[in-house]
Structure 1
Amino acid sequence: MPIPARIQKRLEDSMSADDSDVYDDTVSAQENTGSMEDVLNGDPALAASQVPPAADVWYIKRALKPILKRAAPGDDRSARDITPWHLLPQILNALARVELARQKVVEEATRALELNESLKKKKSTDSEGNDDVILLSNDNKRDLRSLIHPELGSSLRKTYMVVSHQTRAIHVYEDIRARAAGVDELILSYFPRNLTTSNPHLFIHMMKAASSEEIQDYVTTRLSVYELYRKVDQWEDELKESISESVMNGLPQDGNLQFSYPEEFDKKFQPDEKWIAVLNMLLGWCRTVQKMTNTLEGVFK
């Protein structure tokens, strides 16, 4: 069943809209993120039990939106260079909690519609006519049905998986390019072979409930990351025949040799993912989920 035009329009508007109607910039960072401290530092079970979408969306927006404002228009490299990569694990976990919030919205909207139908039947068969029973208005029912439309849910779920996988792959690419310490550990934590073993990240913990298609997409991304790592390792072995380790690490060189590891890396290994495109998709997805949450809350005000 295709998404009705009205719902599709709402989705497109959310993906392209400005953030001013979703984020309250007057609220302090401490007020927004203070309740997230235990979640960020806790285990997956705790993270899965606490789903504060407004705080998480605020956190994601505060960390990532400045990249789009400060980077040169259409310049993916400048966007990558000013990205706070050290925050990516927390951002990805916040993104996972927003996905849990989206699922919760669908569950609550479904439950409300089912309860309304049950009360409607009970009221129609009650001989005494219970006037205390308040049913949902037609507008409220329409809003709730828009939240649970299966095609909308499928589209948003796919978008979440894409941005989560690609963001991790881009982070690995940038750390390899920068010859950052701990790349091996980063890859193992972002793309473990066994998804059922203990992992500190909620976005990996949630993969235990992934569909077979989602698992296959994960495996494909994981293999591409490991293939990049293998090719870079082989390339570095070739470089070491004529260039020292210190030169590759960017230490001062003599006048006869000018070598930039990042520049040579860029020539050799072009990234598959466009970071600006992923950022726009990620932020648009967050706006949509936040608006879904606002719609659900508006029904019951």
Structure 2
Amino acid sequence: GASAAIAGVGAGEAFGYHLDHLGPFEGLLEEGGALYSVSWIVGILSVAELTFDQVINILKVSLFIGIIHLVWAMILRMQRLAQAGQKLVLYMEAIPNLTLYGGIVVIMMCAIGSQYDVMNMYSRVHTEAVPWVTVFLGDWAQVWIVTRIAVIVVIASMVIMMVGGIMHAKKHPGEGDAGSVVMEVFLGKTVESLAHTISYARLGIMLLVHAALLLTVNNAYTSLGGAESGGAIAMIVGGNLGIMMIEGLIVYIQSLRLHLYEFFTKWYAGGARPFAQLRQELIYNNFIWKKK
């Protein structure tokens, strides 16, 4: 509920209607109102018209949430490795994996900034800002510069991971050879970084589905006569209840998947004691517990 409320404020809508046009909020959000100082947040992620720019902004925010989530998981893994004293894996696999992921994400952002001119992103003609990156690094972070830096970071990270994997394979011959290590890093890690990030686009898709469902219900409410029609009132109340039930299930499943598959698998390791009975299994005798 709290997440839905925050997302609703960001999208600038409540039950499919603009917040800044609803009676209780209209005066508060106007200049001089109690909430005017935070009124810029309302509708910052608008889905009112579903234009191409709005869809791209929604996907940017979805990917940004995914990046934060995945980086958090990688940091937790590095913390666990450091506590376990596994320095080789930490320095030659976990940390380079984080830099590899960062480089791939930055290249993805450069592709968006270059209007998807992927083949020429490194060209000096692409002086556009890089989404999210330029915000943090400044105006010098243009597409062509950041693309070249990111490619170098990706290649260096892959080389370090390959060397670390080969060293690990020599110490543990039964866990693979040099060829499998190279293929795992070159194909597995890079594709994994790309696929896991894109997986968070489902958050934006859920928002688009939400907007489409509410648009359908509200249009039906208007066509049935609005507030003067009992059928229209039943439609908008029942429709919103149905949307909340459907989205509650869908969003629960999708968020659970992102946590269990994308987040926990990167750092969590079960280490608890297995369940054991209080008493040993007996064949010929049984204990009888008397109540005192």
TM-score category (smaller protein):
under 0.3
Structure with bigger gyration radius: 2
User: With structure 2 as the length reference, what TM-score do the two structures score?
Assistant: 0.25
User: With structure 1 as the length reference, what TM-score do the two structures score?
Assistant: 0.25
Higher relative contact order (CA 8 A, sep 6+): 1
